[in-house]
Chains A and B, each alone.
Chain A
């Protein structure tokens, strides 16, 4: 069964540095998402992406965040200048039909900002 893949599995960075988290969604999916989960807290929506543009974003997704689909397979999340509170597990997800079909999640990238 096809899976969403994320790299790296763990990223450690210093405060103020830029990070790029990478995801390869399932190939025939059209909608892509980023969620995050701070340790011990719930899964929070960051952004959804469809047809090469952001379709929805949360309050968390401020100007420090950006997403891109640089080619036909990758979907990236960039944090321009990381803060300590950005430390979390970041999950990429994709689905075929937006809100009408289940999300398929990647294994996540654990981001640690020191």
Chain B
């Protein structure tokens, strides 16, 4: 069965500091990985997905199949980055459910 873990429930950094939100997964096949973000009182929204290999709002994430990780990184955190971040896995295939990690609350301090 597929599983996503995010070891940190809460991560606090100062503005301008680098940030890394950890995500590990277990899945026997070749999954698609996503990061979703939920700002205060807003809906879950897609931040980025591994196959697009793009940087959104300064965030990047690299899929490491050897370590089964998909860590989210940003070199210089901003206060507006404070939010809940969820790593999610989708098994390749149609109609299959996404599995979410427990989430990490990022708090960027002034």
Contact = CB atoms under 8 A, between A and B. Distances in A.
Interface residues of B, number: 25
B43 A105 contact: yes
Contacts, number: 71
Given A99-B92, A100-B92, A108-B43, A58 B100 contact: no
A51 B37 CA distance: 29
A112 interface: no
Given A102-B34, A108-B43, A45 B102 contact: no
Contacts of A4: 43
A55 B3 CA distance: 20
A43 B32 CA distance: 18
B32 A99 contact: yes
Interface string B13-56: 00000000000000000001010100000111110010000000
A104 B90 CA distance: 14
Given A42-B102, A42-B103, A43-B86, A50 B94 contact: yes
Interface in A82-114: 91, 97-100, 102-108
Given A99-B32, A102-B34, A102-B49, A43 B44 contact: yes
A45 B101 CA distance: 11
B66 interface: no
B64 interface: no
A50 B96 CA distance: 10
A56 B95 contact: yes
Contacts of A31: 94-95
B43 A45 contact: no
Contact of B99 (A45, A55, A100, A104): A45
Return the 6 tightest CB-CB contacts between A and B, nearest first. A98-B94, A55-B95, A42-B102, A43-B100, A105-B44, A99-B90
Interface of B: 32, 34, 36, 42-46, 49, 86, 88, 90-103
Given A45-B99, A102-B46, 5 more contacts: A31-B94, A50-B95, A58-B97, A100-B92, A102-B34
